[in-house]
Structure 1
Amino acid sequence: MASSTETASQPERPPRPNLAFRQLRGSRSPAEFAALVRRAAREIGERVSCDARYVGRVEAGEIRCPNYAYERVFMHMFPGRTLTDLGFAPRSSVRGRAARAIPDADPALTAGAPPGEPPVESPGAFEPYDTHENDQLNHEESDVLRRAFMTGGGATVAAATLGPLRPTTDATAAVRPPRRPGTPEAAALEEAVRRIRLLDDRHGADGLYRRAAAPLRAAYALLDAGATRQTTADRLHAGAGELAISVGWLAHDSGRYDDARSHYAEALATARMTGDPGLEAHAFCNTAFLARDAGRPREAVRAAQAAQRAARPLGSARLMSLLALREAGGWAGLADRTGCEQALVRAQALFERGRSEADPEWMSFYGEAELEGLEAQCWSTLGDWRRASRHARRAAHLQDPHFTRNIALYTAELADDLAREGRPDEAAAAGLRVLALLDQVQSSRIQSMLAGTARVLLPHRRASGVSDFLERHASTPRTARA
């Protein structure tokens, strides 16, 4: 008999059918509609395992709110509509729902939320790529993914632990999981990587870096605990490596180059230990970018070439295109115009081959806008300001509004190129557009670019709009490193 202090569990309400989503499917079969979803996902660089069963679950109301990957796909398929327009519950309405009980669940699964911040359930939040794992994950995901982020400062930031791991405020404390990790922990790790990337796309790195260290420590604790199955161990190693790269990028973009180098080296070591060419290519790709920014152009060239050797068997033309651009940036830093131009031509030709199933998930940011933006940086480094500004303008125009940080970055690049080209009024106008975005984006890189532009524009204070830009720039607070 239950004690009087216990509350009787309430039966769950039967799901309400999602009639709006069913109407969008129209006369197509669930399988046909699922194929459209997968095709739309490929168009924006997402990977979802949508099938007829998933469509049926959505229409039956079993999935109240989709995960972030599906949300981006649905927003691409039905532009201008919100989740509620598609028949889903607002994401805020599913925050804090009590987690479903798991037999023999460790108490740490439902503990650890900070005061005033209830655990988060994400019903239907993680749809695995291996569809045979659906049933198990649907049962366990709400506890494993109960919370990955919290709000702080001016932007949403990464905060919590992965799966059953308790948060720690001691950066040196060992984080030890209470049991050997399995599929749910691997899924949680992969979702943490996606969410960090999503937040960086929107807000930049400065407010995220320190908070992302806890999930990274937790990821390596999972590796130390050891998985029971080799397939799970492979997923954990790949996820930990990708998370190290993501955290390294946050350090890179916020000006912490030594930290970034360490994280990228950690990811590269993980790739080499496990024989993962995709992770190795990614680690070398980011190492090349860091070397370019840190003033080591020859290292940038060598790292980009190493990345291409690792990536060649993967069969992704888009990945090879990005790596050619990384090499071009190194050649530009060496003032080798011929080498840079040859790499740019190669990058463009590979890009035009289009997307494929072999493209890595992390490359969702790499579209025409990023191609233009990276080429603009090459011409800027070579001192060809006219070409640089032309490509930077195209990059800012082409960028998907979701990537707020990149819009600010490309526009800052445009402002600097225009200033150095001798077009101060246009440069000031572009600079003002960037300043208007800084309440959403925290990036030391962008702030440094604007500071350089302001120095170039100082002698042109009397030109139209320049004084306004200089005054607003001087009064804009600089983001403190978190």
Structure 2
Amino acid sequence: MGANGVLRQRMKQLGLTQEELAERLNEALQEITGRPGEISSRTVRNLLSGSSCRPISRTCAALERVFGCPVTELGFSAPSSMQHPPEDPVRRRNFVLSTTATAVAAVPLGTQRRSVGMTDVTRAAESMNRLVEADDRQGGHQALAAAALKGRDHVMELQQRNAGERVRRALYALAAEYSTMAAWACIDLRDLDTAQRRLHESATFAGLSQDPPTGLRVWVNMAMLAYQRRNWPEQLAAARAAKASPAARRDPFFGSMGRVRLALAHSSSGDRQAAKRELGAAQETLLKAGEVERPRWTSFYGPAELNHLAAIILNHNGQSAAAEAMAHRALSRIPEEFRRNRALATCQLALAQLRQGEPEQATSTATSVFTIMDGAVLPGRMRTLIGDFHRDLLRQAPSTTYARDWADRMREEWSRA
């Protein structure tokens, strides 16, 4: 008999290596017989090579438990003690184990859940990608947070089924992504207490996934949350953790992401020199990043977003002219479909213009934020920036026609909430 391609394909679907299948088979035997199994990776190699085309009853029972189907559907011939009567389809789906002087009760397969493989992970990830696209367009909103939590619950339900170690890690990484997306939506909505709970949950999933980019993403979002809370020490600590993370050390792309978060944290703390140093390092590091496949959530980051974040840092540092230049540079490169990011960069441009004593031009720029968002409710984070602009404008030019027109437009947009 030749190599067993059917078994190899089923192992691939579940993401199982030979060593992992041996481990799963031994666990199944423990459940069936009450005693640990002794199946080795060498046994699995024999099953795959075809040198063992009729496994013994114990091995067959374990195979059926792991893969959820009769061994005949795995490319094997069942031993006589496990022949399933063709006239009774229910009995054909019962596990039967016959050993000398021992009869073990069968477990109906109908009561077991289907095993999970990488195809299931891919399908769940596609739903995550749609949420990322919705966030790019509109930013955080209640429906996005609810959809993210629904996706997380689905992924955790998949975790309850049979799966290999690689699949389990991928599912935990995906659960972390869904929880982080829910947290991100809450940050945009300024529901910061809920965001913190979601991020703590996400940190747990990220640790279980052992996936470096997922871990870095959690630290980045923790730094952003601390910034929104105006908790500068925690922002600095989270940003340092992002910079020191394995993903940041291995890939210049993630290294740049961690460094710019550290630059923002230094800026918030009033350390302008450190902020300037880390911003320059983030810019240099990004130039070294190669074009490789990365998670879908990273699509927002690149030269355009780095310029946007640089505008925020420069505005914090009182360098309004440089901030204006960076905001213009960001807007020239942020894709049109990233409406939320374009609107946020426009807010930074308006603030930079206002702080240079150009209130009328700044008002025109700020008004374009509403056009960019195209009638969508402004996320809470954006409303905070618009509120800052509004207060500064009324201090500079309280009785001007354009300031009064701005106030009317702002009230109209605020009423959408």
Structure-2-length-normalised TM-score: 0.68
**Structure 2 letter corresponding to 1:216:** R
Pick from 326, 335, 346 the counterpart of residue 270 of structure 2.
335
- What are the equivalent positions in structure 2 for 1:55-204 lying under 5 Å apart? 179-204=114-139
Instruction: Determine the structure 2 residue equivalent to 1:289.
Output: 224
Whether the 8 Å CA contact 2:128–2:151 is kept in 1: the answer is no
What secondary structure sits across from 2:230 in the alignment? coil
Residue 471 (str. 1) matches residue 408 (str. 2): yes
Residue 324 (str. 1) matches residue 288 (str. 2): no
**Structure 2 letter corresponding to 1:420:** R
Instruction: Determine the structure 2 residue equivalent to 1:451.
Output: 387
**Structure 2 letter corresponding to 1:477:** W
Return closer, same or farther for 1:389/1:463 CA change in 2, 3 Å cut-off.
farther
- Measured in 2, the distance between the counterparts of 1:293 and 1:228 equals 39
* 1:463 positional shift: 4.5
**Structure 1 letter corresponding to 2:343:** A
- Measured in 2, the distance between the counterparts of 1:328 and 1:475 equals 36
Residue 418 (str. 1) matches residue 353 (str. 2): yes
Offset from partner CA, 1:413-466 (integer Å, 9 cap, x none): 211222233210111011110122331464111122112211111141444633
- Measured in 2, the distance between the counterparts of 1:396 and 1:308 equals 26
Pick from 270, 277, 282 the counterpart of residue 347 of structure 1.
282
Return closer, same or farther for 1:227/1:239 CA change in 2, 3 Å cut-off.
farther
Offset from partner CA, 1:364-405 (integer Å, 9 cap, x none): 111221011111111222233232222222222221111011
- Measured in 1, the distance between the counterparts of 2:367 and 2:342 equals 13
* 1:406 positional shift: 0.8
- Measured in 2, the distance between the counterparts of 1:443 and 1:197 equals 15
- Measured in 2, the distance between the counterparts of 1:426 and 1:345 equals 29
More helix, by proportion:
2
- Measured in 1, the distance between the counterparts of 2:353 and 2:153 equals 43
- Structure 2: give runs of 5+ residues left out of the alignment: 1-67, 69-111
* 1:279 positional shift: 1.5
Return closer, same or farther for 1:313/1:330 CA change in 2, 3 Å cut-off.
closer
- Measured in 2, the distance between the counterparts of 1:355 and 1:230 equals 29
What secondary structure sits across from 2:218 in the alignment? helix
Whether the 8 Å CA contact 2:350–2:362 is kept in 1: the answer is yes
* 1:179 positional shift: 4.1
Residue 367 (str. 1) matches residue 299 (str. 2): no
* 1:180 positional shift: 4.2
**Structure 1 letter corresponding to 2:275:** C
- Measured in 2, the distance between the counterparts of 1:479 and 1:239 equals 33
Residue 260 (str. 1) matches residue 222 (str. 2): no
Return closer, same or farther for 1:216/1:280 CA change in 2, 3 Å cut-off.
same
